[in-house]
Amino acid sequence: MAATQESATSSASDFYDAVEEVLACILANSPIYKHLFGPAEASCLQLVRGPEGSSGPSIPGDLTFKFVSPKSEEGGEGEAAEGDTLQSHHLNSHKILHGSVSCTLVDLISGVCIASLGTTNASFNAPPPTLPSLPPTTSSSPLTQPVYPPRASILSAPRGLSTDMSVQFTSSAKMGEEVWVRTWVKKKGRHLVWVGVQVWARAAGQGERGEAKLVVEGSHTKYIK
């Protein structure tokens, strides 16, 4: 990965702050994303940061988001069940995560993932992260050193135009379960970026003992200038 010299002035905390700003900007400017996942100040998607003092992701774009109860929800239609979980408008008629919401998640989160690379022109192939537990705190297939470009580079980075997206539904998630979204960059070329996105769920309140299930396996290819 060639962007590490540029990123030396940034910290993991600055990196995560910039990623949150990107997500907030997208939510503020897209009616469909805002409808499904809320405005930035009350979003049901929360970036999972590593423990205090830990480094940023060592695999490009390796980010994890979890569903949380929106701060501004006080009841009524769309209210989340007790605890951090899905909301009613995320569900289909069978009361499980709606396929269209899953596809929109893949679309949204892959754009944030690409932005987290910053404006680097470097090309690379990256090993996929393994997921021994949720929420993950470190990447298990590291490159040479953590990757966190400067804030300005992340905020100005292109998020790309979709050329192909595929989604496999391997299980279901329902209200009351803990749900995470994991994303990483598989490969980056001069004008194309291949992003992986996974949605995981497990029974609430079980902590690390709870067995996580893969709900959605997504792949998104985007064109960047």
Q: Tell me the mean pLDDT per 10 residues along the chain, length 225.
A: 43 88 94 92 88 61 87 47 79 96 97 89 64 45 56 90 97 93 90 94 74 93 93
3-state DSSP assignment of residue 109 = helix
- 55 domain-assigned: yes
Counting the structural domains of the chain, the total is 1
pLDDT at position 210: 65
Residues 6+ apart with CB under 8 A from 2: 120, 122, 124
At 55 the pLDDT is 58
Residue 134 lies in a domain: yes
What is the pLDDT, as a whole number, of residue 140?
Answer: 41
pLDDT number for residue 86: 92
1 in a structural domain: no
Number of Cβ within 10 Å of residue 214's Cβ equals: 15
Predicted pLDDT at 84: 75
The answer to whether the CB of 202 falls within 8 A of the CB of 84 is no
What φ, ψ does residue 23 adopt, rounded to 5°?
A: -60, -45
What CA dihedral angle connects 85, 61, 195 and 167, to 10 degrees?
-10
Asked if residue 103 is part of any domain, the answer here is: yes
In a domain, 45, yes or no: yes
- What's residue 136's pLDDT? 46
Report if residue 58 sits inside a domain.
yes
The residue segments making up the domain with residue 52 are 6-223
Compute the distance between CA of residue 157 and CA of residue 213 in angstroms, rounded to an integer.
Answer: 33
State residue 7's pLDDT score: 41
Domain harbouring 159, CATH code: 3.10.129.10
**Does residue 166 fall inside a structural domain?**
yes
Domain assignment present for 177:
yes
pTM of the model: 0.81
Q: Is the dihedral of CA 74, 78, 82, 84 positive or negative?
A: negative
pLDDT of residue 128: 61
Which one, of 163, 168, 177, 175, lies nearest residue 197 by Cα?
Answer: 168
Encode burial over 157-167: b for 16+ CB neighbours within 10 A, e otherwise.
bebbeeeebeb
Cβ 45 vs Cβ 65: under 8 Å: yes
